[in-house]
Amino acid sequence: MRRSSAKQSLDSFHAALNGLLPKDIRVRELSAAVPEFHARFSAQSKVYRYQIYNDTFMDPFQRYWAYHCAYKLNASKMRETVDLFVGMHDVSAFANATREDGVPDPLKSISRFYVIQMGSLLQLEVEGSGFLYRQVRNMVALLIHIGKESLDSDIVPMILETKDRRVLAKYTTLPVPPHGLCLVSVKYKEDHLKLPLDCPVTSFGRHHTITKCKLPFY
C-alpha cells in the first residue's frame, strides 16, 4: 500500500473510531505501534490528579470534577506531608482488595507528589511507577484528615510500615469519591514509541475544507 493511501486509511479509521465512541470520549491522535508496545506494561510512570473544592459552598461548575470539602484544610501541612510518600514503598496499606487475577507487586515508586492551591481548588498531583487499586484515593482520604489537623503527618510512615489496610481503616474508613480523580498522563518506554518502518504517519484527525462556494446572484 502506498504511503498516501495508508495515511488516508488511518485517517478514515480515526474518524470512524470517534464516530462510534460516546460524545465525552475522543481519540485526538492515532498511530501505528511496534509489536512490543503494550498500553499497560510498556508504561514507565503514570500521573494522577485529584481535585478538592475547599469552600463552604460547592461551585456548581466543579461538581462533576472535584470533591467538595467544606471543612477548611491546611494546605501547607498537606504539602509537607506528601513528601513522606515519595520514594520506594510497600503500599499494601493503601490498597483495597481487587478481584483481578494474580497478586500485584506492592512495591511502588513515587517520584513526585504536589499539592497545588488555586483559590478554593486544591489539586493533588502524584507521579509514580504504578498504583494499586484505589491507592491514590486512599492516600487523598488520609491527607484530608491531616489537612483538617485531626491527624499528624507522622501517621503516614507508621501506616506504610504496617503494610495492612486494616490499620488505615482505623483512621479513614472509605476512600474519597472517584469523580475527583483523573489520569493525567502515561509515560511510555521510548523504544516502544518508535513508529514501525514504512508505516503511515500519525493521524491527528481529518480537517474538512470548503473547496467551492456557490453564491446566488441577485
**What pLDDT sits at residue 140?**
98
This prediction's pTM = 0.84
* pLDDT for the residue numbered 97: 76
Cα(122)–Cα(194) distance, integer angstroms: 37
What's the pLDDT score for residue 131? 94
Q: Are the beta carbons of 42 and 188 closer than 8 angstroms?
A: yes
Q: Which residues of the chain have pLDDT under 50?
A: 1-2, 101
In the prediction, which pLDDT does 177 show?
96
Give me the residues paired with residue 112 across strands.
Answer: 127
Please report, rounded to a whole number, the percentage of residues in the chain having pLDDT higher than 70. Answer: 88
State the virtual CA torsion across 52, 57, 62, 63 in degrees, nearest 10. Answer: 90
Residue 185, C-beta contacts closer than 8 angstroms, at least 6 positions apart: 46, 47
